[in-house]
Amino acid sequence: MFAVEPVALFCRICFVARDLQYAYTAASRVPRICAKLTQCKIRRKTAERPLIAGVRRYRIGHKLDMSITKIAFVGHIDHGKSTLCGRLLAESGAVPPDKLEDVRQACSEEGGVIDYAFCMDAFCEEREKLMTIDITQIPVRIAGKNYLVIDTPGHAEFIRNMITGACQADAAILVVDAAEGIREQTRRHAAILSFLGINQCIVAINKMDRIGYNEHDFYELKRNVEELTASLGITPLHIIPVSAMHGENLMTRSKAMPWYNDNTLVEALTGLHATEESSKDLRVAIQDVYSINGRKIAAARVEAGCVHQEVKVMVEPDHAELCLSDIIKYPQSVKSAKSGDCIGLVTDREPFLRRGQILCNPDSRPHVTNHFWANLIWLSETPFKSGMSLTLKLLTQESGCCIAQIKQRTDSSTLEDEATEDQILCLSDIGHVLIETDKPLVWDPFKHIQEMGRFVLESDGKLVGAGTILEA
């Protein structure tokens, strides 16, 4: 959804090996299983051949339906996100049977049950440490609908990777361990969902087998979850008790929980839908200009609305009007293009377009200002301090900027407000801030057009923050 330059918007972070131990796993058998599955020598910090090669080929080679619903799985460390994703893929037929059998046999030989998380975690370090580091995206068809499953990491060290995955999603499944309940990353990830404006949310209370499928414990945790989400302005569509390991309440109703008569997870998924941007006001971001066969063609992306040939558009921030004489979707000209389309544009006259401009309808213009209020999440281990030199990037626009005021500061792990007298933001803090830019930028409030209301901040070429615009 940060679509024009996703790499610039949320960069990857380097993985640093952590000596993490998990009480529920006999760590000594994990490397042997990994070796059996990858048929290679395990090397730290090195991406090996994907565990489920068929799934990964399916992910890369599959041509996505534009109406696909993108779902991010989020939640605390080790609450079962990857296992839940993997089980859904396996039971929906997305994992080739021979590959699934390889996983089952390898786990069986080491004296354990099949670990469906291996269907998602592709790095050797992920499999060896039993932790998700990077995001994994796999398209799947369930109950006649197309979905993109986005598995995100739960560790605080990889919060940028989590945001990278969540920011692309139309909906989210917040996974909570039934035995552990709400933890630090549960609160932080829920806050980020609210921050990103993801309103379609399902809560999966996972590992119900660990509490004996107890009805009373489920409803007590359900009340706690509802209090958490309500404080963030999120209303879960469903809160479902599941056991990913045993497949309870995923595809079919669980016999182990006869007291639960509501939707299964798959039934709940059918109520989710892709975000529709084509009906909104026209916004086209200009990326670059090329000279091809004597014609100047502007490479652009339609961020919202629909654009048509021979229609006058306004060019911001220049306040100029021109007519689009041709729209090109390789390899031919087209009469129109809709949200999400990458196109080439030819205009009727000079001055020609340039990178950073935004096209819109003359009667529905965006804001053009050098200041705005925003919600900002700080992503750098170096705290923000007043006077820090920053660069703001919004789609293809770029400008120097400063944070002129921090009106409110929230600790995302506790959701408690903190003092703002020192005007400091620490790692993962969320601030309500006033940003002033060196030059006017074109934007819309995030709640109106999300693509036009998202931005990132850089310092010395490194990503330090990401935000959503509220108002002028």
Read off the CATH number of the domain in which 292 is found.
2.40.30.10
Residue 321 shares a structural domain with residue 466: no
Domain boundary among 220, 241, 269: 269
Residue 134 lies in a domain: yes
Residue 296 lies in a domain: yes
Residue 9 lies in a domain: no
pLDDT attached to residue 9: 33
pLDDT attached to residue 351: 65
Contact 197, 450 (CB under 8 A): yes
Residue 421 lies in a domain: yes
Residue 248 shares a structural domain with residue 305: no
Residue 162 shares a structural domain with residue 198: yes
The torsion defined by the Cα of 176, 180, 185 and 190, in degrees rounded to 10, comes to 40
Residue 352 shares a structural domain with residue 442: no
Task: Mark the ranges of the chain whose per-residue pLDDT is less than 50.
Answer: 1-65, 123-127, 129-130
Residue 127 shares a structural domain with residue 191: yes
- Number of domains making up the chain: 3
Contact 69, 145 (CB under 8 A): yes
d(CA 403, CA 385): 9
d(CA 114, CA 103): 7
Q: Which domain holds residue 431?
A: 367-471
pLDDT attached to residue 15: 25
Residue 86 lies in a domain: yes
Residue 372 shares a structural domain with residue 353: no
Task: For residue 419, give the amino acid letter.
Answer: A
Residue 184 shares a structural domain with residue 113: yes
The torsion defined by the Cα of 113, 114, 120 and 125, in degrees rounded to 10, comes to 60
Domain boundary among 326, 360, 394: 360
pLDDT attached to residue 122: 53
With 0.75 as the threshold, say if the pTM is over it.
yes
Residue 39 shares a structural domain with residue 98: yes
Residue 238 lies in a domain: yes
Domain boundary among 301, 326, 360: 360
d(CA 344, CA 367): 25
Residue 120 shares a structural domain with residue 243: yes
CATH classification at residue 100: 3.40.50.300
pLDDT attached to residue 18: 26
Residue 185 shares a structural domain with residue 299: no
11-50 burial by CB neighbour count: b if 16+ within 10 A, else e? Answer: bebebeeeeeeeeeeeeeebeebbbebbeeebeeeeebeb
Residue 292 shares a structural domain with residue 242: no
Contact 390, 378 (CB under 8 A): no
Residue 151 lies in a domain: yes
Residue 185 shares a structural domain with residue 223: yes
Residue 2 lies in a domain: no
Pairing of strands 312-316, 358-360: antiparallel
